[in-house]
Amino acid sequence: MYYKTKQVIDHKRTGEHWRAIRLSLGITQRQLAEAIGCRPSYISDLELGRRSWSNAAEHRFKSYFNARKAG
């Protein structure tokens, strides 16, 4: 019998990780929200683990922070 393993994502831990990166760069939630096209409350919800991380959200975060790192 074949069982698929479900990937378990700890949304709070992921949010804490991204929050630490944001704070280390001195970026506010409002600045990040404006840069990636969402509301500051969405950033807050992600960072606190109140919202699930979608692939699109994580991609936008990665793209933004990679661009900041390169620039």
Q: Residue 47's domain is classified under what CATH number?
A: 1.10.260.40
- 45 alpha carbon, distance to own chain's centre: 10
Number of structural domains (the chain) is: 1
> In one letter, which amino acid is 6?
K
Give yes or no for residue 5 having a pLDDT over 70.
Answer: no
CB 53 within 8 A of CB 14: yes
**Does 48 fall in a domain?**
yes
Domain that residue 36 falls in: 11-63
- Cα separation of 65 and 19, whole Å? 12
69 lies in some domain: no
22 pLDDT exceeds 90? yes
Where does the pLDDT of residue 1 fall: very low under 50, low under 70, confident under 90, or very high at 90 and above? low
What is the rounded average pLDDT of the residues 32-56? 93
User: Does residue 31 form part of some domain?
Assistant: yes
pLDDT band at 70 (very low <50, low <70, confident <90, very high): confident
Q: Quote the pLDDT of residue 3.
A: 56
